[in-house]
Amino acid sequence: MTDYQKIAELLYPTIKTSVEEIFARYPKRNLKEGQVVTRFAPSPTGLMHIGNFFQAFISYNLAKNTDGIIFLRIEDTDQKRKIENAQAVLYDILNRFGIKFDEYQTLDGKDVGLYGPYVQSQRQEIYKIFAKKLVSEGKAFPCFCKKTEGKDDVLKLRETKFNEDDEKEYDPCRNLSYEEVKKHIDNGESFAIRLKTQNTGKERIKFYDLIKGEIEAKANAKDFVLLKSDGIPPYAFAHAIDDTLMGTTIAVRGEEYISSTPAHLELFEALGFEPIKYCHNPLICKIDDETGNRRKISKRHDPEANMMYYFEQGYPIDSVLEYLLNMLNSGFEIWRKNNPDLPWQDFRFDINDITAVAPLFDTNKFNDISKNVIAKMSGEQLYKNWLDYAKEYDAPLAEILVNNKDKFVRLCQMDRDGAVKPRKDIYNYAMMKNYFDYIFDRPIKFELEEKDIPLANEFLNEYLKNFKMPGSNEEWFSEVKLLAEKLGYAVDNKLFKKSPESYKGNTAKVCEFIRVALTGRKNSPTLYTIMTILGEEETKKRLSHIF
């Protein structure tokens, strides 16, 4: 037995399983040509950042487009950050966005798939088996520096011992003899496991990123921690082992991991693993309202960074996903123009098409996309979605919508069902209550110019005298037109031409008076429909309102 093997035995006397046995439990996946295996590996922190969701969405599409596999791995090793219920929140968000996994662990702890457990905190034994192997080969070592000594002390120690070359960060414990290790262990001291880097701080390496192409960087020269003293692996070790055993072929992760990729690659080599392919996706940016500068979208400043925001505001799922595709790949916008009626799922993107430039979250553009998505819904569908939204976020509204179903379905159908050019005005369900406030309550503010008031009063008075509910839009319009002409308000057969004296006589203008009286607004959907929704009594009450 070598000294390294003896140290490994000393550290892990109870670990008897070999790495080969573990590999036998995780056989290589049988993939067809071109099929990829991707994964989404979130840490359950209680909320989902749009950047993380972006990765899930990319991974999902990559797998789907190659008839491949996507699995979900919960990275819950950081117990300090662990939040009750966080996993359920995560599953709920992914589920609502239609991101379905081929392999995962159910909330009640059952693994679906052969490569589990799919939750890292249940894989600790596996990490130790690999740690033991690395120690036994002299590629990793136990470190007894106490946390309580403070990081600064350890750093100082490193400085004094190794200041001949500050490019590298060798750990003071890297060359402890078997006897020294034994002394620490006999003292009952806990230990972390560190990688014994083979680099000196002078080497550079190249690696390939599927989005960014070839990247050259300084090779790792740090004895970084593989297992903390509580036996928990920080990201790197768990990543190397899990993605290898679980057969990931492409790891999609945030750009912030590029700087640690050299360390990950050294670890893969030490473990004797084939490196996997990386796809570091750019971080989503925003233009800062105050400074006008481009910056990373952030949970603290931007509500839209949190995926819950889209539910809270009632954005259709498809609006969000279409916008993400738009940010991800400029080809999508052209495709959408040429295929306005196809579902976004028909758009197939290749990994090479993913933009390498940080995409910009532009609220106006997002809302425009959402308006298009909503414009394609039938009135019934829009009503149903609005009601579902209200049930979750506005119970009193939901009650009104249910009790007046007929009225609100008609409201949602306005300028929509059967319209050649459906109105593109609604971008989320949260805005609908305000947008249609005149249906709920009589308006109290009127968008009418001061100078128009006398004329409006005069016309509405006359209009009301003979008012009866019209039977159709055409009937309503020809009645208004007739009355306007009779009263001398419309003097030509081209309805919107001004009369010689003033615009008095312009039918468009008198329609505006009716519109403002009924809705408070100069702009609204078809007045005839609004009248039928309000009913005769309410319509008359509003028309009798003298400005």
Q: How far is CA 448 from the centre of its chain?
A: 42
**416 lines the binding site for ligand GLU (CB under 6 A):** no
Residue 41 C-beta: closest distance to ligand GLU, Å: 4
Q: Which of 261/507 has CB closer to ligand GLU?
A: 261
Stretch near ligand GLU under the rule CB under 6 A, chosen from 152-160, 249-257, 371-379, 458-466: 249-257
Residue 70 contacts ligand GLU per CB under 6 A:
no
Minimum gap (Å) between residue 77 Cβ and ligand GLU: 9
Stretch that binds ligand GLU, among 35-43, 185-193, 418-426, 514-522 (CB under 6 A): 35-43
Contact between 43 and ligand GLU per CB under 6 A: yes
| Residue 21: φ, ψ to 5° | -65, -40
Output the 3-class SS for 206-235.
Answer: EEEECCCEEEEEECCCECCEEECCCCCCCH
271, 240 contact by CB (below 8 A)? yes
Regarding 42 and contact with ligand GLU (CB under 6 A), the answer is yes
Using the rule CB under 6 A, which residue among 94, 251, 448, 530 binds ligand GLU?
251
264 is a contact residue toward ligand GLU (CB under 6 A): no
Residue 72 CB, shortest distance to ligand GLU, in Å, is 11
Contact 382, 341 (CB under 8 A): no
CB of 21 to ligand GLU, least distance (A): 26
Q: How many residues does the chain have?
A: 547
Instruction: Give the nearer residue to ligand GLU in terms of CB position, either 37 or 516.
Output: 37
Estimate to the nearest angstrom the gap between the alpha carbon of 185 and the chain centroid: 47
Cis peptide before 359 (omega within 30 of 0): no
> Judged by CB, which is closer to ligand GLU: 101, or 366?
101
Interaction between residue 265 and ligand GLU (CB under 6 A) = no
φ, ψ of residue 414 to 5 degrees: the values are -55, 130
Q: In this chain, which of 8, 11, 41, 517 binds ligand GLU, going by CB under 6 A? A: 41
Q: Which string of b and e fits 519-547 if b means at least 16 CB within 10 Å?
A: bbbeebbebbbbbbbbeeeebeebbeeee
Q: Does 75 bind ligand GLU (CB under 6 A)?
A: yes
239 binds ligand GLU (CB under 6 A): yes
Residues 6+ apart with CB under 8 A from 56: 40, 42, 94, 99
* 253 touches ligand GLU by CB under 6 A: yes
| 273 three-state secondary structure | coil
From the list 41-49, 204-212, 282-290, 387-395, the region that binds ligand GLU by CB under 6 A is 41-49
Kindly state the number of chain residues that form the binding site for ligand GLU, as judged by CB under 6 A.
Answer: 9
- Residue pair 211/281 in contact by the 8 Å Cβ criterion: yes
Q: Shortest gap between Cβ of 43 and ligand GLU (angstroms)?
A: 4
Pick between residue 201 and residue 254 the one whose CB is nearest to ligand GLU.
Answer: 254
Q: Nearer Cβ to ligand GLU, position 91 or 463? A: 91
Please identify, among the stretches 60-68, 250-258, 277-285, 315-323, the one whose residues bind ligand GLU according to the rule CB under 6 A: 250-258
CA angle 306, 312, 315 (to 5 degrees): 90
248 binds ligand GLU (CB under 6 A): no
Instruction: Please provide residue 35's backbone torsions phi and psi, each rounded to the nearest 5 degrees.
Output: -70, 135
Angle between helices 453-465 and 473-486 (to 10 degrees): 120
| Sheet strands (E) in 43-94 | 69-72
The distance of closest approach from Cβ of residue 12 to ligand GLU in the complex, given in angstroms and rounded to an integer, is 26
Q: Does 209 bind ligand GLU (CB under 6 A)?
A: no
CB 217 within 8 A of CB 261: yes
| Residues of this chain that bind ligand GLU (CB under 6 A) | 41-43, 52, 75, 239, 251, 253-254
